[in-house]
Structure 1
């Protein structure tokens, strides 16, 4: 497992679309610019939805991995 440092963590395990992205939006508002949020999810649709979320809002999806049916994302919040 990749251990990228992160400032905050979002546990979206067991949640299904659209809940993970809705919670992601809330968590991104809580952290400061250039901080990293790690997300763990089990919904395969997050592989598409989180990527689109980052593209649309300008956040940097640093890394996206999958291990044993769990999807992990490290997202760096954009500068203001």
Structure 2
């Protein structure tokens, strides 16, 4: 299975709660339904906040992982 094509990227490295989710909220408003957004963060609270954000607002958290002290999220706009 091939990796889905990412439409947009959001780098929130070095920012702390609530900034990553605030930036995510602004960025996802720019996307069309079905587009994919990759978010990279360094704040561990995003492991809790981003899944809740997606669930509450009807977006799909396609993938999340941690690598080299960075947290990666792939979100499909609902």
How far apart are 1:68 and its partner, in Å? 1.1
Q: TM-score, normalised by structure 1?
A: 0.92
User: Structure 2 matches for 1:53-72, cutoff 5 A?
Assistant: 53-72=53-72
Q: TM-score, normalised by structure 2?
A: 0.94
Contact 1:4–1:74, Cα closer than 8 Å, also in 2? no
| Whole-angstrom CA distance in 2 between matches of 1:35 and 1:4 | 10
CA deviations 1:36-66 (Å, max 9, x no partner) are: 0000000000000000000000100000000
| Whole-angstrom CA distance in 1 between matches of 2:48 and 2:68 | 18
Instruction: Determine the structure 2 residue equivalent to 1:5.
Output: 5
Residue-pair matches, total:
76
Question: Which structure 1 residue ranges, 4+ long, deviate > 6 Å from structure 2?
Answer: none
Extract unaligned runs of 5+ from structure 1.
Answer: none
Alignment partner of 1:14 is 2:4: no
Instruction: Determine the structure 1 residue equivalent to 2:38.
Output: 38
